[in-house]
Amino acid sequence: MTQPTQTIQAIAVSPGIAIGRVLRLRSHSHLLEPEPHKLEPGEVESELNRFHAAQELTRKQLAELRERLRARLNSQDADIFEAHLLLVDDKMFVGAVEKGIREDLYTADYALYQAAEHFAAVFNGMEDEYLRERGSDIRDVAARIMDNLSEAHNHEIGLDDRRIIVGSSLSPSETAQLDQSKVLGFAVETGSATCHTAILARSMKLPAVVGIPPELPESLSAADKLILDGYTGKIIINPDARTEEAYRLKAEAAGALYNKLEQDKALRPETTDGFMIQLAANLDTPEKIDEVRQSGACGIGLFRTEYLFMNRLKVPDEEEQLDVYKNLLVASGEHPVIVRTLDVGGDKLNSNLYRAAEQNPFLGLRGIRLGLHERRDLLETQLRALLRAGIYGNLRVMLPMVSSVQEVQDVREILDQLTAQLDREGKEHVSRLSLGVMIETPAAALLADRFAPLVDFFSIGTNDLVQYTMAIDRSNERVAYLYRPTHPAILELIRRTVEAARQNNIWVSVCGQVAAEVRVVPLLVGLGVHELSMPPASIPMVRRAIRSMSMHEAEKTALEALRCSNASDALALSEALVRRCAPEILNI
């Protein structure tokens, strides 16, 4: 049954338009209890066939997932899917499901649920911790088969077509695992424009919205078609032909503009009165380096190393990290590569491989705090790998979530110790790392004049700076309306940071999401930021914005914006300048 046409307003977090059928997502660790319907004896055979079809599909999906992860991670980490594959065909488990269908006349869903709960309970009762964990593997595999049972119902829809994911939430690690050849975009309940799931969506060029009504995923089926508008946040369920055509045209126009702007990649990103702004790329996974090079970026302004640590059972060691950093540096030639030390915490990597659970993770032992306090081993391994990688290119290192000067002094001390250690071991390394801090706490921005003499650069992380200044959880869609980077308090913190940098002759970048927002670019340029770092796909638009305005106008606008009382007024001033200079980039 498909739903009638309906439009839902959600929150746009990753631009683009997706048109396609629904793939309902469920958290695989939650195996929901189905209704215990009974079968008629004559239905047993077709129900067994349905179960076997779902089993086959699950086998195929897990094998694909394993291969994809093998290509990206070491094989040990992909082995988790090997174990799941064995469970799909486990004789006792499968036998129990078949018996439930054949003898107890349960539907495949209910028989599967019963068998999974039975075996999970057996494992959970075991003394050995490793075996106890296998209980959740059983539930995980059963939940996958359960999802595929509803797919197996639906014969008219090819299972290999690309779909729009609709679900309650997607974690950054789940998003990183999405197969882009199968996914058109996603719509989830939780999140915001600056949560890491949204950041990954932009980097993967997947249109995405958050803040959908909680009941939406359950009300949709694989037969429903959606238009997902990642520019406005609209979702249209089962659109009529005219609406669909209008959206196809909109998507085509956006694509054509993008292709046109991409042709300008060799042009210098300088204002009409000759001020150059460096445009760098944010990188989440090392494989995206080719995309960075094609974008015309002047280097990597932020490599979020947490993604190297994600979806694996073992922390990457020094040699593995050295290899990754070296490859990035070699591929980037003389362009700078800014590697950020591990920023675990908040909505990223809360696995107990790294840290204990916290009530309030965004205010917890996050970023540099974790490395300096509980996990010195992680920080030292990473810094050793970076000191060694530095000889292969133009490496810069920056520290996340800094809030006091002591943290920088502590890292400098550790660097001295590690340098001496590498000397003793006879391992080649750079004698000095170019070291910067992220300005992403109000404390760091307010004390920028105290930090500046100690570091080589600042990189303003507006995603967190807005979160911590406005006191809003950046992944909470309910307070997303308060996420306003043009709020005068934020502009004032940026102004202070730039001023402190200027006085100490160091440079300042902005690497938060706002760097890619063309409507805000005049303010960042006018406030005196030297570099903007963003997902590669945003570079063409931002280049056009910069090339069409003068520094004089940008400075004037920024000064006026600083005097505004609220975010909307400041944004309106900035947008008005873009509308005058480059209206085409606002028309999508």
Contact 349, 361 (CB under 8 A): no
Cβ proximity to ligand PEP, 206 vs 302, nearer residue: 302
Site for ligand PEP in 121-140 (CB under 6 A): none
Question: What is the C-alpha separation between 142 and 90, in angstroms, rounded?
Answer: 12
Rounded CA gap, 466 and 512, in Å? Answer: 10
In the complex with ligand PEP, the residue whose CB is nearer, 17 or 342, is 342
Residues touching ligand PEP, count (CB under 6 A): 11
Among 153, 46, 20, which residue's Cα sits nearest to residue 105? 46
Binding-site partner at residue 511 among ligand PEP, Mg ion, none, CB < 5 to 8 Å by type: ligand PEP
What is the nearest approach in angstroms of Mg ion to the Cβ of residue 153? 43
Q: What x-and-dash track marks residues 431-470 binding ligand PEP by CB under 6 A?
A: ---------x--------------------xxxx------
Cβ closest to ligand PEP, residue 111 vs residue 283: 283
What is the distance between the alpha carbons of residues 549 and 551, in angstroms, rounded to a whole number?
7
Cβ contact 11:154 at 8 Å: no
Binding part of the chain for Mg ion, among 2-10, 348-356, 456-464, 536-544 by CB under 5 A, reads 456-464
Q: What residues have CB less than 8 Å from 252, skipping those under 6 apart?
A: none
Cα–Cα distances (Å) from 372 to 25, 263, 403, 441, in that order, read 38, 45, 13, 17
In the complex, least distance from residue 534 CB atom to ligand PEP, rounded to whole angstroms: 10
Contact call for residues 461 and 438 (beta carbons, < 8 A): yes
To ligand PEP, the closest distance from the beta carbon of 258 in angstroms equals 23
196 catalytic per annotation: yes
Q: Which is nearer to ligand PEP, 113 or 307 (CB)?
A: 307
Nearer to ligand PEP, 237 or 280 (CB): 280
Among 147, 306, 464, 517, binds Mg ion (CB under 5 A): 464
140 binds, options Mg ion, ligand PEP, none, Cβ within 5 to 8 A by partner type: none
User: Shortest distance, CB of residue 345 to ligand PEP, whole angstroms?
Assistant: 9
**Is residue 395 a contact partner of residue 382, using CB atoms and an 8 Å limit?**
no
Q: Quick one: what does residue 321 bind among Mg ion, ligand PEP, none, with the CB cut-off 5 to 8 Å set by partner type?
A: none
Q: Which is nearer to ligand PEP, 98 or 440 (CB)?
A: 440
Q: How far apart are CA 458 and CA 452, in angstroms?
A: 8
Which residue lies nearer to Mg ion by CB, 269 or 461? 461
Catalytic one of 84, 195, 335, 511: 511
Residue in 84, 195, 196, 429 annotated catalytic: 196
**Residue 174: which of Mg ion, ligand PEP, none does it interact with, CB under 5 to 8 A by kind?**
none
Please tell me whether residue 137 binds Mg ion under the rule CB under 5 A.
no
CB atoms near residue 584 (< 10 Å): 12
- Residue of 299, 48, 24 lying closest to 167 (CA atoms): 24
Closest contact distance (angstroms) between CB of 58 and ligand PEP is 33
Which one of residues 174, 440, 477, 553 is an interface residue with Mg ion (CB under 5 A)? 440
C-alpha closest to that of 17 among 185, 225, 257: 185
- What's the CA gap between 131 and 137, in Å, rounded? 10
422, 430 contact by CB (below 8 A): no
Both tokens of residue 128? 């050995």
Distances (CA, A) of 497 to 100, 145, 448: 66, 53, 5
Q: How far is the CB of 349 from ligand PEP (least distance, A)?
A: 11
Task: Kindly identify the residues of this chain, within the stretch 493-532, that bind ligand PEP according to CB under 6 A.
Answer: 511-512
Return the one option of Mg ion, ligand PEP, none that residue 47 interacts with (CB less than 5 to 8 A, by type). none
Binding test (CB under 5 A) with Mg ion, winner from 135, 230, 390, 461: 461
For residues 342 and 372, is the Cβ–Cβ distance under 8 A?
Answer: no
Q: Of the listed pieces 57-65, 103-111, 417-425, 434-442, which binds Mg ion according to CB under 5 A?
A: 434-442
**399 bridge partner residues:** 437
Closest separation between CB of residue 369 and Mg ion, Å? Answer: 13
Name which of Mg ion, ligand PEP, none residue 512 binds, using a CB cut-off of 5 to 8 Å depending on partner kind.
Answer: ligand PEP
Tokens 């959970």 correspond to 124
Q: Do residues 396 and 436 make contact, with C-beta atoms less than 8 angstroms apart?
A: yes
Among positions 304, 312, 335, 530, the unique one binding ligand PEP when judged by CB under 6 A: 304
Q: Shortest gap between Cβ of 518 and ligand PEP (angstroms)?
A: 17
195 is catalytic: no
197: left (phi over 0), alpha (psi -120 to 50) or beta: alpha
Nearer to ligand PEP, 109 or 440 (CB): 440
Strand order of the sheet with strand 225-229?
6-9, 234-237, 225-229, 17-25, 163-167, 183-188, 208-210, 11-14
**How wide is the angle at C-alpha 19 spanned by C-alphas 17 and 24, nearest 5°?**
110
Compute the least distance from the CB of residue 216 to ligand PEP, in Å: 27
Residue 454, amino acid: L
Closest CB to ligand PEP among residues 321, 533: 533
Minimum distance from residue 184 beta carbon to Mg ion (Å): 28
Strands (E), 252-372: 278-283, 300-304, 336-340
Q: Pattern 190-209, binding to ligand PEP, x per CB under 6 A? A: ---------x----------
492-551: which residues touch Mg ion (CB under 5 A)? none
User: With respect to ligand PEP, which residue has the nearer C-beta, 366 or 429?
Assistant: 366
Secondary structure class of 488 (helix, strand, coil): helix
Question: Dihedral, CA atoms, 372, 378, 379, 382, nearest 10 degrees?
Answer: 180
Which does residue 407 touch among ligand PEP, Mg ion, none (CB within 5 to 8 A, set by kind)?
Answer: none
Residues at the contact surface with Mg ion, assessed by CB under 5 A: 440, 461, 464
Active centre residues (catalytic): 196, 511
Q: Which residues bind ligand PEP (CB under 6 A)?
A: 199, 302, 304, 343, 440, 461-464, 511-512
